[in-house]
């Protein structure tokens, strides 16, 4: 993202408030969510409002946020790192230690650590207001960023009553989560009480810059055509917490010692400095292998063309680009991992990694 876009985006961050961003569409949000810049707010992209009560809308957001934080576990614990396995009692102790040294809610954090380590959902929740505050604060801590934005897209076909219920839920979440709610230009059009921020140039810059420099959000849902209810900004160095496919692949790779040098959601640091920055889903730097996990949206003409341009640029710099669909990964993540191992072995040179010693090392450690 170029420097010109940053100040207007910061001006649109107004914790505790709901605002409509004029001329910012869902496509622009797709690109913004996919960026990993640490000076951007954490973006939650919510696609769920439908014909239901305000309480149901707010509950759906909090339930989905809870799942995202479980997927990010244990990276938000002291000493935690993606892929680590934690004993339940150790996770609870670490969570209590974290809360004692911060303002995080023990009622939320300790229970979430216990359930994440046990592989279950939380058995109990505090009052809804405390739950909203605690979950959003934990998300801030997990990303190390002070601001959280909940971006709302909703069908204009919703009844006026449903639209007003959705914005009531947004106002409640903004207040208790101390976050900013953005409505895209076309979301909840029947609601007129929301102030409008006219950011025409910012929207165009977001779209143009992000399209040139980032991959789009991978659809991680159970079927190829169903996007997640709630997506979140990609964390640097970890798989996307809302992506079932990336999570499944990471679960398989985390059991393999040969895969320990993998890097999730990072930019190759050896590209031509004059080329746009590229964030890749997964890579092995030494072997110059890039892996992309693609949803159905990558078959759309515009995105398909951008993917080919990215692949060509990476290939010119010596990277081998491997693409898998969500369905391929979810059907058999271990098979995908086995194929990646074969490709990594094939990329080793005799000078850097003598075949016998490298293979012996992997065989004895795997």
> Is 135:107 a contact under the CB 8 Å cutoff?
no
pLDDT per 10-residue tile (average), the chain, 366 residues: 53 92 75 78 89 94 96 92 86 97 96 95 93 97 95 85 94 97 89 81 43 35 59 88 91 92 88 72 94 74 73 90 94 96 81 44 37
pLDDT the model gives residue 276: 63
SS3 track for 156-176: CCCCHHHHHHHHHHHHHHHHH
- Tell the burial category of 348 from Cβ atoms under 10 Å away from its Cβ (0-12, 13-18, 19+): middle
The structure's pTM equals 0.79
In whole angstroms, give the CA distance from residue 301 to residue 306. 9
Domains of the chain with bracketed CATH: 3-214 (no CATH), 244-365 (3.40.960.10)
Sequence-distant (6+) residues with CB within 8 A of 167 are 18, 183, 188, 191, 193, 194
pLDDT the model gives residue 267: 85
The Cα-based distances of 12 to 193, 280, 360 in angstroms read 17, 28, 55
> Is 103:80 a contact under the CB 8 Å cutoff?
no
In whole angstroms, give the CA distance from residue 268 to residue 284. 10
> Is 145:137 a contact under the CB 8 Å cutoff?
no
DSSP type of residue 245: H
In whole angstroms, give the CA distance from residue 341 to residue 347. 10
In whole angstroms, give the CA distance from residue 42 to residue 61. 15
pLDDT the model gives residue 177: 97
Q: What are the DSSP calls for 191-207, one per residue?
A: --SS-EEE-HHHHHHHH
Kindly report the CA angle at 272 between 271 and 278, in degrees rounded to 5?
Answer: 50
Sequence-distant (6+) residues with CB within 8 A of 112 are 66, 69, 70, 73, 95, 122, 138
End-to-end alpha carbon distance in the chain? 40
pLDDT the model gives residue 183: 92
Torsional class of 178: left (φ above 0), alpha (ψ -120 to 50), beta (otherwise): left
DSSP type of residue 298: G
- Tell the burial category of 66 from Cβ atoms under 10 Å away from its Cβ (0-12, 13-18, 19+): buried
Task: For residue 322, list its beta bridge partners.
Answer: 291
**Could you tell me how far CA 221 lies from the centroid of its own chain?**
13
| Per-residue burial over 80-89, b = 16 or more CB atoms within 10 Å of its CB, e = otherwise | bebbeebeee
DSSP type of residue 222: S
pLDDT the model gives residue 29: 77
In whole angstroms, give the CA distance from residue 229 to residue 128. 20
């Amino acid at each position: 993202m170029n420097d010109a876009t940053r100040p207007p985006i910061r001006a649109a961050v107004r914790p505790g408030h709901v605002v409509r961003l004029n001329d910012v569409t869902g496509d622009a949000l797709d690109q913004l969510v996919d960026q990993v810049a640490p000076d951007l707010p954490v973006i939650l992209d919510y696609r769920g409002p439908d014909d239901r009560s305000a309480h149901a809308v707010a509950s759906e957001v909090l339930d989905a946020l809870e799942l995202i934080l479980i997927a990010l576990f244990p990276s938000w614990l002291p000493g935690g790192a993606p892929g680590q396995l934690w004993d339940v009692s150790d996770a609870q102790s670490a969570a209590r230690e974290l809360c004692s040294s911060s303002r995080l809610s023990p009622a939320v954090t300790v229970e979430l650590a216990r359930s994440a380590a046990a592989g279950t959902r939380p058995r109990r929740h505090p009052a809804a207001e405390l739950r909203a505050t605690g979950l959003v604060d934990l998300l801030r801590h997990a990303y190390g960023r002070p601001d959280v934005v909940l971006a709302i897209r909703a069908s204009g076909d919703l009844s006026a009553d449903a639209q007003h219920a959705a914005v009531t839920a947004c106002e409640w979440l903004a207040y208790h989560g101390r976050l900013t709610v953005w409505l895209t230009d076309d979301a909840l059009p029947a609601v007129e009480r929301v102030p409008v921020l006219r950011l025409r140039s910012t929207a165009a810059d977001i779209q143009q810059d992000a399209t040139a420099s980032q991959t789009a959000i991978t659809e991680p849902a159970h079927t190829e055509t169903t996007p997640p209810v709630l997506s979140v900004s990609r964390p640097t160095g970890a798989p996307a917490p809302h992506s079932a496919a990336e999570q499944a692949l990471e679960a398989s790779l985390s059991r393999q010692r040969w895969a320990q040098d993998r890097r999730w959601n990072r930019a190759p640091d050896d590209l031509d400095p004059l080329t746009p920055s590229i964030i890749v889903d997964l890579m092995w730097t030494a072997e110059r292998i890039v892996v992309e996990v693609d949803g159905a949206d990558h078959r759309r003409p515009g995105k398909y063309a951008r993917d080919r341009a990215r692949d060509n640029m990476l290939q010119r710099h010596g990277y081998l680009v491997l693409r898998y669909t969500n369905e391929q990964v979810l059907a058999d993540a271990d098979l995908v991992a086995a194929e990646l191992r074969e490709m990594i072995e094939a990329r080793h040179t005799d000078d850097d990694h003598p075949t016998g010693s490298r293979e012996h090392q992997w065989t004895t450690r795997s």
